[in-house]
Amino acid sequence: MRKIINSFIYVIWALIVLVPLALIVLLALSQRWAYPALWPTQFSSMATVLSLLTSTEVLSSLGASVALAVGTIGLTLLIAYPTAMALTYYQFPGKKWLNLLIYLPLIIPGIALLTNIDFVIIKLNLNGRYFGIIAVHSLFCLPYAIKLLSDNLKLVGPQYAAVSQNLGASHWQTFWQITVPLSKNGLQGAVMMTYIVSMTQYLATLLIGEGNYLTLSVRMFPFTQAGKYQLAAIYAIVFMLVTLVPLFLIDSWLAWQERSREAHVSIDRD
């Protein structure tokens, strides 16, 4: 019975994940695929597909997406880490309200929030600028980052930091050498979620950036609406690669570090 359930789960997983991926790949390779044909009636050559993948527009969009994502990660962690520590370890007036305010970007409809933020950004003369875009991206990333960091800090607890300071370490030494390493799982999750959310921002990048930053998502959606599915699929493939590959590398690197640490501990015990 358990094998049947596991097989059913695998089939569902394949239908949900693999079928859409296969469809995107077929769209990228097809030159002509009209209804009601089940398969593409004409395929593009690999040279054509590779030229589209490495075109100037794709590479420039890739650079813009990564640049905004990296800046968003830095700004988000700069705000999320101390906020998560304050919400986890300290009691202060208005703590419950702050917990509620953190999730407002997810509660309020995005178009309503962005319309009002746009006026603020224009008044601050940040419209069309790098910092203005990553500031808005960070607004949508903060709920995820703060939640992940807070949950991880609760598991770690404040006792290690307290022992470190009792032994004479400064606040900065305690933070960098005790708090950050112990909360690396939450930090990893916060970085990954921030990266993904920033990469998928379409309306915020287009509205606040005023067309100065044509990211992968900004270029991909117009092609979809115009019926240029091959170009949209090309951008989708690049988007998936630039999103999944870094996350896989980060996860593999952290897993390798964990195995190395366990091996060193095992050797020391022997």
Mean pLDDT over the full length of the chain: 82
Alpha-carbon Rg for the chain in angstroms: 23
Phi and psi torsions of 226, nearest 5° = -85, 0
Instruction: Please give the full DSSP string across 91-103, using - where no structure is assigned.
Output: --TTHHHHHHHHT
pLDDT at 156: 82
pLDDT at 270: 57
Q: Is residue 216 a contact partner of residue 199, using CB atoms and an 8 Å limit?
A: yes
Residue range 201-234, pLDDT digits in tens: 888 888 888 888 888 888 887 777 777 777 888 8
* CA neighbor of 141 nearest in space, from 201, 90, 183, 218: 201
- 42: three-class secondary structure by DSSP: strand
pLDDT at 146: 92
Q: Tokens for 105? A: 């970007």
Residue range 31-50, pLDDT digits in tens: 777 777 777 777 777 766 77
* CA neighbor of 17 nearest in space, from 244, 255, 263, 260: 244
